[in-house]
Amino acid sequence: MIMKKVSIIVPCYKVEKYLPRCLDSLVNQTLEEIEIICINDGSPDRCIDILKEYREKYGDKIVIIDKKNEGVWKGRKDAIKIASGEYIGFVDSDDYPDIRMYEILMALMRKYSTYIAVCSYFRNEDRENNKDKIYDIKMSTAEAFYEISINRKLEAHAWSKIYRTELFKEVRYPEGRLYEDIFTTYKLIQMCDFVAYTNEKLYFYRVNNESITNRKYKERDIDLIYGSIDFLNFLEENHYRKAALKQKDTLTRNAIALIRKMLLANECHRDQMEYLVNIIVQGYPKYFKSQYKLSNKIFGIGVIIYFKVLCRTFDYRS
């Protein structure tokens, strides 16, 4: 098998509406030495038919894994096993990259001799806020962890990055977890001396109401908190104090977000609610001074007043 420069991994589930645009952006990448590994994760719509049409047209540039539904983490794991590229990238199939994205990120990796390169992104195709002067930098791991902790230049998601493939020999996505990137990205960065970053927006992230982060609350959404704590524990154990302080704010913010989501869905699980409220109470004094939105801070105060002052006992639907 001929070694490719980049293997791009694309999990597919219920995205027939968006999949053609995603695939068009990938097959037309200016970096030609790529393979596109598409995982049909038991999707009940026309995803597999669309993938076969593209494979027929573009040949071995398109690789298809057709399997039963097991979730994003398992699809990525299966794709990493067969990836032939020196580097790996991930794309969510309801999003799409700029056709120059992988060529630019590869150039950054060569320029800075790094194992990970990261770009910025558009949210919902909003191109108007790309007026900043474009630059690129090399970050230390400490700087990268800090940026993740405040969700600024770097975030935990996998899709705005490329990685040296060999990193995945040591780091694997956790089995059966939602928000798997939170558990994984910092471990990949830990294995590098530096990370390359450009503020150029080369990825188009679509807010999908059916995605994990936007659908109604489910009990497994608590993985967002477990992942946030996992990252926080790592930062504290390895003495990244500045990033750890900011990650505590992010943990509080995530707990507030899950309670809001839980209440809106009328899916209030007693044990999880108590757990989240306690996280908010412990972190709130510092969180109130953080960079996060005032509306979240006000909601957090409401949570504390209601559950810790007005309510003497918890009485939630289990």
**What's at 173, amino acid-wise?**
Y
- Domain boundaries, given as residue ranges, for the chain: 4-205, 219-310
CA distance 54 to 206: 22
43-52, 98-107, 118-127, 216-225: least confidently modelled range: 118-127
pLDDT tens for residues 15-70? 999 999 999 999 999 999 999 999 999 999 999 999 999 999 999 999 999 999 88
pLDDT tens for residues 279-289? 988 887 787 77
250-267 burial, b for 16+ CB within 10 Å, e for fewer? bbbbbbbbbbbbbeeeeb
Residue 26: per-residue pLDDT: 98
Residue 316 has pLDDT above 50, yes or no: no
pLDDT tens for residues 167-203? 999 898 888 888 999 999 999 999 999 999 999 999 9
156-189 burial, b for 16+ CB within 10 Å, e for fewer? bbbbbbbbbbebbeebebbeebbbbbbbbbbebb
Residue 2: per-residue pLDDT: 58
Quickly name the fold that domain 4-205 has. Answer: Spore Coat Polysaccharide Biosynthesis Protein SpsA; Chain A (3.90.550)
Residue 318: per-residue pLDDT: 41
Neighbour-count burial of 294, counting CB atoms closer than 10 A to its CB (0-12 exposed, 13-18 middle, 19+ buried): exposed
The mean pLDDT of 201-210, rounded to a whole number, is: 81
What single DSSP character describes residue 218?
-
The band of 3, judged by pLDDT with boundaries at 50, 70 and 90, is: low
The answer to whether the beta carbons of residues 6 and 86 sit under 8 Å apart is yes
The band of 130, judged by pLDDT with boundaries at 50, 70 and 90, is: low
CA distance 197 to 189: 13
The closest alpha carbon to 193, from 119, 247, 118, 113, belongs to 113
If one counts every other C-beta atom within 10 angstroms of the C-beta of residue 295, the result is 9
If one counts every other C-beta atom within 10 angstroms of the C-beta of residue 313, the result is 4
The mean pLDDT of 212-237, rounded to a whole number, is: 86
The mean pLDDT of 152-156, rounded to a whole number, is: 89
CA distance 128 to 122: 9
- What pairs with residue 64 in β-bridges? 38
Residue 216: per-residue pLDDT: 73
The mean pLDDT of 255-261, rounded to a whole number, is: 89
- What pairs with residue 8 in β-bridges? 36, 89
Identify which has the larger pLDDT, 271 or 63: 63
Strand 194-205 relative to strand 116-123: parallel, antiparallel, unpaired?
parallel
Q: DSSP assignment of 5-38, as one string?
A: EEEEEEEESS-TTTHHHHHHHHHT-S--SEEEEE
**What's at 225, amino acid-wise?**
I
